[in-house]
A and B are shown apart, each in its own frame.
Chain A
């Protein structure tokens, strides 16, 4: 899961930093604002815990071992932004002190394990646990699935990052300059290992700790679950409450999905930018099962529009051009989704508070 230096082109690493640094800065600012000076030792200790979790190799029935990251756990306990800081600090140790994970590749590793993993895991956890009480078994299951999905998403990112290398960077003779495996090889290889091994490890660690804390240390579990009823009785009392729709979260999730999915377009064999090739439809259908024809058509239109805008990249740096167009596109989609979600949330909030005046704070989004 830790990408060492040498597997990725410096250009890819630069993009990794370009994504990781602003997110880390936002995380620091957000955590700072919310808990004042209290956060410093907590995050330090959690970073140490993540480091140790990465050291714990968990055995898997087939005889191999894998390590969890702990990002899902920290995200559940203190929120995904705290997890960004804790995991990225642990990664900094490994890169600088133990040569585990590269220094140039640090940004990319942060993106995979400290950003994608906790946010995806936390999203899945929230979705599955819903309004279940703090001590319910559903939260344990949600923890397992959150950890599992989060780690798998991170692995998918690693596969994509490695897989785009041979398509974008080759020397004159056609030999790949960096990681030699094509997307169609890198993604299945990464996913197989992580679906079967490391994802389970992250899931087990997350679920086991959630279950342990339910029994032994409920206050620690309460920190990031304000307003969640403790047991089934009080849950029944508060059942009328619904999950709030948070536009920022929705937009972030959609953008994360796009970041992961965008390079899948490159999967099509036979050319770097093969989205409009006929094979495209088959591959997408394989990967995503149901894609309406209309959407496919729309996808093509969207793609060519971006492509026209970045025409200059045809000559020397196709990689940079592709990545820039991807980022711009994703940001644009994110903004639209955010605006839409905001409107929906506002509407829902107004309706909800009109119907049920006993629930205050609903209007706040």
Chain B
């Protein structure tokens, strides 16, 4: 169409001075015909790919959250409160046996909630607990955690140094507690649609303004992610050959975060107008309304009894 050209300031009868290189048809490949060496994707490519993986993950989560299972039937408010309670219990318990029992309970709940257990375990362990294991590994040594040496590795000024029993206990306990905590959170988020989780936060007293901001930010993460991907692809498309990764990539990150902010600023202006046009005056009302069922009461009872059992068991084992 010629409409675009018509908006130019120059008189329409002036032909565009198209530079010669734009009219060339041969591709800008090297004459020998080789396409070039393939290089491993830069960190940037990985980050961008990570972004689209993130999208998939969230969408998968929404599917599981809609499945019919035990945890899906529990009211999100109840789930959220019992999550907090169980996290505190996990934080307070000292005994590995009790932490093990809690972990087993999360596995049982996962399988009762139509979550593939293999997926659940992988999702939990791949992130933090495995990393934690590496981080706390040095803590088993007497240098970090002095105590009763169970395995002597070297001597220092005559005294034996090595792995201590206290160090092993401490490291194991941190890993176990991290795994239990993450399992509990993942269990909640995989069985609760995002919108209902927000509504639950709201009814538990989180101010409306925060809920509104969280809800909108969630929505705009995906939009901005798309524009970052677009910017990256546009840059890729204009970058033949191999550029030295890090420096160019850093420049790209700076420029794209800047462009992202400009875009974000413009977007928020428009969103504000769209909200105002529909009667927004600074205080928002939402549709969501939930009622508690008898099943929720049973769930609360079960959680309370379980938590009490863990605390009592921990007390007995600890003394």
Interface assignment of A137: CB less than 8 Å from any CB of chain B: no
Q: How far is the CB of A326 from chain B (nearest CB, A)?
A: 21
User: In the complex, which residue of chain A has the Cβ closest to the Cβ of B182?
Assistant: A99
Chain B nearest CB, measured from A287 CB (Å) = 21
Q: Mark A1-12, 1 if CB is under 8 A from B, else 0.
A: 000111111100
Q: A208's closest neighbor in chain B, by CB?
A: B254
- Cβ B91 vs Cβ A6 within 8 A: yes
- When C-beta atoms are compared, the residue in chain A nearest to B206 turns out to be A92
Q: What is the minimal beta-carbon distance from A225 to any residue of chain B, in angstroms?
A: 15
**Contact partners of B249 in chain A: CB under 8 A:** 59
Assess the B264–A49 pair: CB atoms within 8 A: yes
Who on chain A is nearest to B186 by CB? A99
Number of interface residues of A (CB under 8 A): 77
Known: A7-B178, A180-B167. A104 touches B87 (CB 8 A): yes
Closest B-chain residue to A171, C-beta based?
B94
Which of A39-47, A236-244, A288-296 lines the interface with chain B?
A: A39-47
Known A175-B167, A177-B94; further 13 A-B contacts with Cβ < 8 A: A6-B132, A10-B88, A25-B207, A28-B210, A40-B272, A47-B217, A49-B257, A61-B246, A73-B257, A93-B221, A180-B136, A180-B144, A217-B258
**Is the CB of A333 closer than 8 A to any CB of chain B?**
no
Decide if B173 touches A92 in the complex (CB within 8 Å): no
Given A48-B217, A59-B245, A77-B261, the answer on whether A6 and B174 have CB atoms closer than 8 Å is yes
Q: How far does the alpha carbon of A33 sit from the alpha carbon of B275 in the complex, in Å? A: 19
Annotate A154-186 by CB proximity to B: 1 below 8 A, 0 otherwise.
000000000000100001111111111110010
Query: B92: CB under 8 A from chain A?
Result: yes
Q: Which residues of B contact A301 (CB under 8 A)?
A: none
Q: How far is the CB of B317 from chain A (nearest CB, A)?
A: 11
Q: Using a CB-CB cutoff of 8 Å, which residues 40-82 of chain B contact chain A?
A: 42-43, 46-47, 50-51, 54, 57-58, 61
Nearest chain-B residue to A50 (Cβ)?
B217
Contacts of A347 in B (CB 8 A): none
Residue B189 CB within 8 A of the other chain:
yes
Closest Cβ of chain B to A91, distance in Å, is 11
A37 within 8 A of B: yes
Can you report 11 residue pairs joining A to B where beta carbons are below 8 Å apart?
A5-B177, A48-B217, A56-B47, A97-B61, A99-B189, A100-B127, A104-B88, A175-B170, A205-B257, A208-B254, A213-B262
Is A38 located at the chain interface by the 8 A CB criterion?
yes
Residue from A51, A173, A209 whose CB has the most chain B CB atoms within 10 Å: A209
List B residues 158-185 near A (Cβ within 8 Å): 165-167, 169-171, 173-174, 177-182, 185
**With A41-B275, A172-B318 in contact, do A177 and B127 touch (Cβ < 8 Å)?**
no
Q: How far is the CB of A3 from chain B (nearest CB, A)?
A: 10
Contact B258 A40 (CB under 8 A): no
Q: A95 contacts the other chain (Cβ, under 8 Å)?
A: yes
Contact between A102 and B92, CB atoms less than 8 A apart: no
Of the residues B58, B209, B254, contact of A40 by C-beta under 8 Å: B209
| Contact between B181 and A4, CB atoms less than 8 A apart | yes
Contact present for A99 and B128 (CB under 8 Å): yes
Interface: A36 (CB within 8 A): yes
The answer, yes or no, to whether A32 is at the interface (CB within 8 Å) is yes
Q: Across the interface, do A96 and B189 meet the contact criterion of CB distance under 8 Å?
A: yes
Cα separation A8 to B185 with both chains bound (whole Å): 16
Task: Name the 8 nearest CB pairs between A and B, nearest first.
Answer: A208-B254, A212-B258, A5-B181, A44-B216, A175-B166, A6-B178, A6-B177, A180-B139
Contacting pair A42 B265 (CB below 8 A): yes
A157–B235 alpha-carbon span in the complex (Å): 38
Most chain B CB atoms below 10 A, which of A44, A92, A181, A211: A44
Given known A52-B260, A99-B182, A172-B318, contact A181–B144 (CB-CB < 8 A): yes
Shortest distance from the beta carbon of B279 to any chain A beta carbon, whole Å: 11
For residues 58 through 86 of chain A, which have their beta carbon under 8 Å from a beta carbon of chain B? Answer: 58-59, 61, 65, 70, 73, 77, 85
A36 CA to B127 CA, complexed, in Å: 40
Interface contact A90-B217, CB-CB below 8 Å: yes
Instruction: Pick the contact of A48: B90, B124, B220, B272 (CB < 8 A).
Output: B220
Cβ contact within 8 Å between A52 and B181: no
Q: A6–B186 Cα gap in the complex (Å)? A: 15
B60 to chain A, nearest CB (A): 12
* Cβ-based interface call for A18 (8 A): no
CB of A53 within 8 A of chain B? Answer: yes
Given contacts A5-B87, A97-B194, A99-B127, whether A213 and B181 have CB atoms under 8 Å apart is no
